[in-house]
Chains A and B, each alone.
Chain A
Amino acid sequence: MNESGDVLQVRDLFKKHGRGQGLVRAVDGVDLDVPAGQMLAVMGPSGCGKSTLLHLLGGLERPTGGEVWLAGRRIDTLSERALARLRRGSTGFVFQAFHLVEELSAAENVELPALLAGCSPRAARRRAAVLLERVGLAGRARHLPSELSGGQRQRVAIARAMANEPLVLLADEPTGNLDTAATLDVLRLFEDLRCAGQTLVIVTHDERVAANADRLISMRDGTFVDDTWLADHAGPLEGLIELGG
């Protein structure tokens, strides 16, 4: 964490693909500060650059220009090796298609990042058990991903992303493949994480997911076109339905 309390800081960030006529400015000069504990949602039409932005924040891709700072440490200039270490420990990723290892049980999937980060098998097992309990899947620990519903798989993926207590959890369309009930389960889980102080950045098409965040950024053509902080006013829900006399 740096002095300002921002977990993520981005300065004049660019990512270009292709060249000449085929040049695409996926991310076209954005600045962003994400305070610790904030749940930030990023929305925008397909191809607006929101997934690329997420990849740049998590060190999955390198920018063409600009800077990315994670907890006061500049990450866009890190070596491949240091970047791999960062991805294993400091960031957690959740994808639309879950990306679980199909041959491993739910518990083994969650243990994996901790083992890769050098945890003892025993500590990794204990941590996985705690996380599966937290996502409400303690009873499914020995199931293979193929034996779980979409919503359950995504909850395993979230537990896996939390395995090394990341500084920031990055989620790319986490509810894109889920029905309404499973979406609510994932949202409840994000809400728990948010209440526990976890910083989250969520790219989504679903306004119901976005509205639950503290802050909503709208992207178009690689730039931010809106940045709204959604304060809790916790007022009565009046005016949302009409009850005629």
Chain B
Amino acid sequence: MQDAVLAILAKEPAHGYHLRARLRWALGPLGESMNAGQVYVTLARLERAGLVVCERADGLPNRPGRKVYALTPAGQQRVAAWLAEVNWPKPDLAEFHLKLAVAAAGGLADPVELVAAQRRELLRRLRDVQRAVLAEPDDSTPGLLLQGVALRLQADLRWLEACERVWSRAENESEDA
């Protein structure tokens, strides 16, 4: 979130609530769980790192002043570097894969059962996401993020299908032996 907050400030200095509103708009239903504290914690970290400066703007007579955040030159550089960089989140499959392998080897649990439980959970999540996707109008920005989440869950479900196939075959072979 740090980079996104910096990038929003690259255009012009802004209040914390403005930053939060921009993030919520982009995230849509997925941003509903974001609380105000998250943005302010992020801003405090960025300030300590020298990427952001904070100035107190005068408030109206009966209202407190608000803090306005602006980028430092180092912050500007970081935004440029972020926009230029190519990266992609790594799926965390190794842990689940190890769970299956270790559970099977130690006779701790049935890997096929573990896969089935995981699959049901992912299907429920995918259902929630698909419902949210269908509720978004065409070409909505948050809708795109939801579609991305749905496609990733779909990929995970296909991988679980492969896991199920191989582990149930392994089970049958050990029964036959």
**A residues at B contact (CB < 8 Å):** 180-181, 184, 187-188, 191, 206-208, 210-212, 216, 226, 228, 230, 232-241, 243-245
> With contacts A240-B129, A243-B38 known, is A208 near B154, CB below 8 A?
yes
Q: Using Cβ atoms and an 8 Å threshold, which residues of chain A touch B124?
A: 230, 233
B133 at the interface (CB under 8 A from A): yes
B123 at the interface (CB under 8 A from A): yes
Residue-wise, chain B 123-154 has the 8 Å CB interface mask toward A (1 for contact) of 11111111111100010000001010111011
* Complex Cα spacing A234 to B138, Å: 21
Q: A interface, by DSSP: helix, strand, loop or mixed?
A: loop
B27, B131, B158: the one within 8 Å of A207 (CB): B158
**Which of B9-17, B28-36, B57-65 has 4 or more CB atoms under 8 Å from chain A?**
B28-36
Most chain A beta carbons < 10 A, residue from B126, B127, B151, B158: B127
17 A/B residue pairs, CB under 8 Å, sorted by A = A187-B130, A191-B134, A207-B157, A208-B150, A211-B126, A212-B127, A212-B131, A228-B120, A230-B123, A232-B127, A232-B131, A233-B128, A234-B128, A235-B128, A237-B132, A241-B27, A245-B41
Q: B interface, by DSSP: helix, strand, loop or mixed?
A: helix
B116 at the interface (CB under 8 A from A): yes
* Complex Cα spacing A238 to B116, Å: 22
List B residues 1-30 near A (Cβ within 8 Å).
1-2, 27, 29-30
What are the 8 tightest A-B residue pairs by CB atom distance, in nearest-first order?
Answer: A211-B126, A238-B33, A211-B127, A207-B154, A207-B157, A212-B130, A243-B1, A245-B42
Q: Using Cβ atoms and an 8 Å threshold, which residues of chain B touch A180?
A: 147
Q: Using Cβ atoms and an 8 Å threshold, which residues of chain B touch A206?
A: 154
Contact (Cβ within 8 A) A237 B33: yes
Nearest-Cβ distance from residue B27 to partner chain A, whole angstroms: 8
> With contacts A240-B149, A245-B45 known, is A207 near B126, CB below 8 A?
yes
Q: Using Cβ atoms and an 8 Å threshold, which residues of chain A touch B129?
A: 237, 240
* Complex Cα spacing A245 to B41, Å: 7
